Structure 1
């Protein structure tokens, strides 16, 4: 059981490395200075966050359903909250915070109200 978990995590890290390298190849013009505007991830899959942010961006992902689950497989999660807001310029010191729920679940009411 322990080995299967290690293999699963290794596969996830390999996929993330491939996605990060492909994103770097298609870098936006603002990347030379190390700044980019924050994309709008609300309602999108968590995998999009990993593929659209620079690999050096500090990222804090947490479950906002109240169940305090660990987020292990990004394709199974959907973004409910994000900080900073879309359009905010990201620099190397910015920590991006993403609140997620499992796909198919609805965002908690207090989270949906904060999105408006």
Structure 2
């Protein structure tokens, strides 16, 4: 057996070290992280937003997800701030971004919707803005959105304008009269409403 000298041993050790370094998964890539995917379009690739208006809310969400969009939200197109608890009970009236728009897959799609038995408004209605120093005109607005508009410390009373029914779910009732009147300065006084259910006429 031939004995190797010190010089040969040094060369062998250097070669092994170089091989180990080359296989080290933690070794620094001179091109920086992500160099291997620099040519990949990934999630930033533009996708076409599908047409979702007219679909049931659940079907619209499934269609959007199948097209690669997973950031979805929805709102009440009637401006009544109702929550879409069971999506199959709602239908889509509007969407943002519009159908055919090319956006990244991470873009949020917002679907305006109403209950199946309701008609879509010509354009989305919005709840009242936060009341300022004076009483807004809440006539025709959903009772819950009017209450949300007023300062949180406001004492609010409501009654059935057409009879003696108990108002349980405020979003199902629209305002007929209000006290104080629109334009009155708000200084902490109680607010009283009369209301009927949506679909009914005020007396």
Query: Given the two structures, how large is their TM-score scaled by the length of structure 2?
Result: 0.36
The counterpart of 1:42, out of the listed 39, 53, 59, is 53
Partners of 2:100 and 2:48 lie apart in 1 by 5
The counterpart of 1:64, out of the listed 42, 55, 77, is 77
Size of the aligned set, in residue pairs, is: 81
In the TM superposition, what is the alpha-carbon distance from 1:33 to its structure 2 partner? 4.3
- Which residue number in structure 1 is paired with residue 94 of structure 2? 81
Contact 2:77 2:113 in 1 (8 A): yes
In the TM superposition, what is the alpha-carbon distance from 1:105 to its structure 2 partner? 0.3
Stretch of structure 1 that moved more, 44-53 or 69-78:
44-53
Query: Given the two structures, how large is their TM-score scaled by the length of structure 1?
Result: 0.60
In the TM superposition, what is the alpha-carbon distance from 1:109 to its structure 2 partner? 3.1
Structure 2 residue 103 is the aligned partner of structure 1 residue 94: no
The structure having more radius of gyration, on CA atoms, is 2
Instruction: Give unpaired runs (5+ residues) of structure 2.
Output: 1-40, 125-203
